[in-house]
Structure 1
C-alpha cells in the first residue's frame, strides 16, 4: 500500500479548511475532481471516511476532525520553519492572506496593501472578503481586519486606517417625498435600508450626541447584507442608508446623496489588523505590520 504523503495531507487540509472542493482546488491549483480523487485515495488507504460529501455541503467526520486537529499545527510549524529563511533575504517573500469585511477591505485594507506591494515586490497578497466573523486560522489566513470590539482578546491587534465616522444618506428625490429627519427617532417613521449581518442579526443604527447614545431599529422595504448595495439602494431612492463617511463623501459632494443627522453620527475607534498571538507571525505579515506602524496605511 502506498504511504500517505505530505502532498496528500496538504490536499486534505485544504478541503478541511475551506469545506469546499472548489475553493480548496483553487488554493492548490488543481481541479475539484482531482482533489476528490486524492481524498478518496487517502480514505481508502486509511480505511476511514474523513469527509462527508453531499451535492450541497462538505463536513468533516469525527475521524477527519481528529486528523485535522493533529496535522494542521504540524504544517503550520513547517511553514514557520520555511518562513525563517526569509531572514537570509534582504526582503520578505511569500503570500500574505487577509480576511476582511467588505467595508474594511474597500476603505482601509486594499489601499494600504497596494502601497505595501509597491515596496515589497516579493510579497503576493490575497484578500478574502467575508461579512461573517470566521476562524481566521482555520480558514488559512494570516491576518484579518475588523472593528476593534469584534476581535478576540487572544489576538494581537494593530490600528489601521484611523477613526471612522458613519453617515446617514438618501437621494435628493427621496427628500422630495419625505421630510428630512432632525432626530434619530424620526427614522422609525421613514423608509430605510436595514442592514443584516451574516449571523442573521439586523443592525440597530447607532447614534450619539452630547453623551446621549441611541440605538434605532429601522425598517424599510429592502433589507441588505452589503453596504455597497445599501448605498446603491439609497441612490435609487429606496430609502435612507447607513454607511461610512468615506464611502459616500464623493457622492454627497456631487449632489447625488444628501446627508442627514450629521451631528448625531459618532466616530468609531476604527479598524484593526489582527492575528494570533500564540504563533510567530510570518515574515510578510511582520513586514506589513511594520509598514502600518510607520504610517503606511495613510491614517492621519
Structure 2
C-alpha cells in the first residue's frame, strides 16, 4: 500500500482548513466535526506521513515549513479537482466545496445580496461565506477564494474581472436638511455645511473627491460626525444630520423615494467599476464562476464562464 492510499483525503482537507483558519476549533466548526476529532485526525496524518505539519500551543496553531508547503500544494490540488469535476458536468460539481468571499460593504449590498437567491438555486449544496469589511486584506493569506473591490483597489498579480459598469460618487442630503441649511451651488459652498465624515477601513479619513469639470479634486470638508459604515451614513443623511458623500447606485432607492436629493450633480466624481479578483496561481472556484456569471448578467454584462472555464479574457491589474 503506497503513501497516498494510507492517507485519508478528509484528513488532508481538514489539514488545509486548519492552516487557513489557524485554529482547530474554527476548522472543526467549518467542517462539522469536534475539535477533539480534528486534533486526533491531525495526529493520525502526521503519524502516517512521518512528519510534523503543525506547531501547537495552548493559544495558537501554525504550520511548520513543511506544513506550509504541503498546504499550498494541497489547496492547488483541491482547486484542480473541483475544476475537473465541473468541466465534466458531474452532478453537483458546480457546488464543489466551500466558497469564501471578502467584500466591501457596497459590493456586498449592490452585487452579492441580489445574486444570492439565484446562486442558492443553481448551487444548493455550496457553503458560501461572505465576510463584509472595508479594511484592505490579503485574501490569500486570510483564506478567501475571492475578493470584491473597486478596480483601483485590486492588488497586482491577481486575476480580475469587472462586475459592473463605472460608478459615480455624489453628494446628497435630505430635503429637511437642504431646506434648513440651504442647497450648495458650488464646491466652495461645502465649507458652510455639516458634512458627514467618511472613515476608511484602515482608519484614515477620506477626502471627498469631486470634479471641477476637467479633473477630480480632493478636499477636506467640515463636519462633526465621522462614520465608517455606508448604511449608517445613509441613515444619518436621511435624518437631516448633514450632507453625505455616497455611491450613487447605493442610494438609488432613497433618491427615487425622495428621502435624499443629489446636490452638486455637475461635480459628481466618476469611479471604477466593481471587480472580483483571485490569486492568479490558483484555479477559479467552480462556484465562484457561477456567482460571477449571475452578477454580471444582473448588471447587464455578458457571461464570462461556461462549463469548460473562461470564455472571456480575465485581466491581471498592473497598478491601476
Mark yes or no: TM-score above 0.5. Answer: yes
Q: Tell me, yes or no, if structure 1 residue 50 matches structure 2 residue 18.
A: no
Q: Which residue of 2 aligns with 1:28?
A: 31
**Secondary structure, aligned partner of 1:296:** helix
Q: Which residue of 2 aligns with 1:213?
A: 216
Q: Tell me, yes or no, if structure 1 residue 195 matches structure 2 residue 194.
A: no
Name the TM-score, length of structure 2 as normaliser: 0.75
Q: Which residue of 2 aligns with 1:297?
A: 298
**Secondary structure, aligned partner of 2:232:** helix
Match for residue 155 of structure 1 among 158, 169, 172: 158
Equivalent runs, 1:173-252 vs 2, <5 Å: 173-252=176-255
Equivalent runs, 1:1-300 vs 2, <5 Å: 13-18=16-21, 23-30=26-33, 34=36, 50=55, 60=62, 64=63, 66=65, 69-83=68-82, 84-90=84-90, 92-94=94-96, 95-121=98-124, 123-289=126-292, 295-299=296-300
- The Cα of 1:165 is off from its aligned counterpart by 1.3
Structure 1: state its 5+ residue gaps: none
Structure 2: state its 5+ residue gaps: 1-5, 302-320
Q: Distance in 2 between matches of 1:17 and 1:267?
A: 37
Which digits, 9 at most, give the CA deviation of each residue in 1:215-266, with x for residues without a partner? 1212322211111111111112221111111221221222222221111112
Q: Which residue of 1 aligns with 2:307?
A: none
Q: Distance in 2 between matches of 1:136 and 1:71?
A: 19
Q: State the aligned residue count.
A: 288
The answer (yes or no) to whether the contact 1:115–1:296 under 8 Å persists in 2 is no
Which digits, 9 at most, give the CA deviation of each residue in 1:69-116, with x for residues without a partner? 323202203312431233333562223222111101111222234334
- The Cα of 1:34 is off from its aligned counterpart by 4.6
Q: Distance in 2 between matches of 1:49 and 1:121?
A: 34
Q: Distance in 1 between matches of 2:125 and 2:10?
A: 25
Which digits, 9 at most, give the CA deviation of each residue in 1:149-201, with x for residues without a partner? 11122111111022211221122222233122122233233211111112111
Q: Distance in 1 between matches of 2:186 and 2:37?
A: 57
Name the TM-score, length of structure 1 as normaliser: 0.80
Q: Which moved more, 1:112-121 or 1:102-111?
A: 112-121
- The Cα of 1:130 is off from its aligned counterpart by 1.7
- The Cα of 1:121 is off from its aligned counterpart by 4.2
Q: CA RMSD in A?
A: 3.3
Q: Distance in 2 between matches of 1:141 and 1:163?
A: 25
Q: Distance in 1 between matches of 2:194 and 2:177?
A: 10
- The Cα of 1:269 is off from its aligned counterpart by 2.7
The answer (yes or no) to whether the contact 2:107–2:148 under 8 Å persists in 1 is yes
